[in-house]
Amino acid sequence: MKANKLTPNLEVRDIKKTVEFYTTKLGFKLVMAVPESQDGIDQELANDKAYVYALMQKDQVELMFQRSDSFKEDVVFAKGLPIGASVSFYMEMEGIKELHAELSSQGLEVTELKMAWYGMREFYLKDLNGYLLGFGEKAE
């Protein structure tokens, strides 16, 4: 068996708000979105449509977001579980000090930038859905 890549699919309350957060705060780009009607794929979000799914990308990192009702229908093991998880999504970055300063200045919920015992300078952010994102850069 060969594993090719891992792309987390995160349950969210609102696709448009989530796309806006990841675009404006973290520099992700929308790759595609599926409208509530599920009759096609949009490359941009339309004001007059509701969405059930979005795929976003920043450099080599991809994240999928799926609206709660659709997520619980597709991922039956998630029925009865709250949004969020006891997991963090850790991304290795370049320019960690600048990213931390930028996100902190926006009033987002971030931890202190610190040096971890395993040689990474890192911090964590809590996104608008309660997911934990870790950002790290190898120390010089």
Q: Tell me the percentage of the chain whose pLDDT exceeds 70.
A: 100
**Which residue, chain included where needed, has tokens 């931390």?**
100
Domain ranges across the chain = 1-81, 84-140
Terminal CA-CA length for the chain: 36
pLDDT score at 106: 95
**Each residue's pLDDT tens digit, 99-139:** 999 999 999 999 999 999 999 999 999 999 999 999 999 98
Residue 134 near residue 122, CB atoms below 8 Å: yes
Question: The whole model's pTM is what?
Answer: 0.90
Residue 65 near residue 54, CB atoms below 8 Å: yes
Half-sphere exposure (CA, 13 Å, Cβ side) for 36?
Answer: 12
Measured from the Cβ of residue 65, the count of other Cβ atoms closer than 10 Å reads: 25
66: pLDDT strictly greater than 90: yes
Residues 6+ apart with CB under 8 A from 99: 93, 135
pLDDT category at 85 given cuts 50, 70, 90 is confident
Domain 84-140, CATH class in plain words: alpha beta
Q: Tell the CATH topology of 1-81.
A: 3.30.720
3: pLDDT strictly greater than 90: no
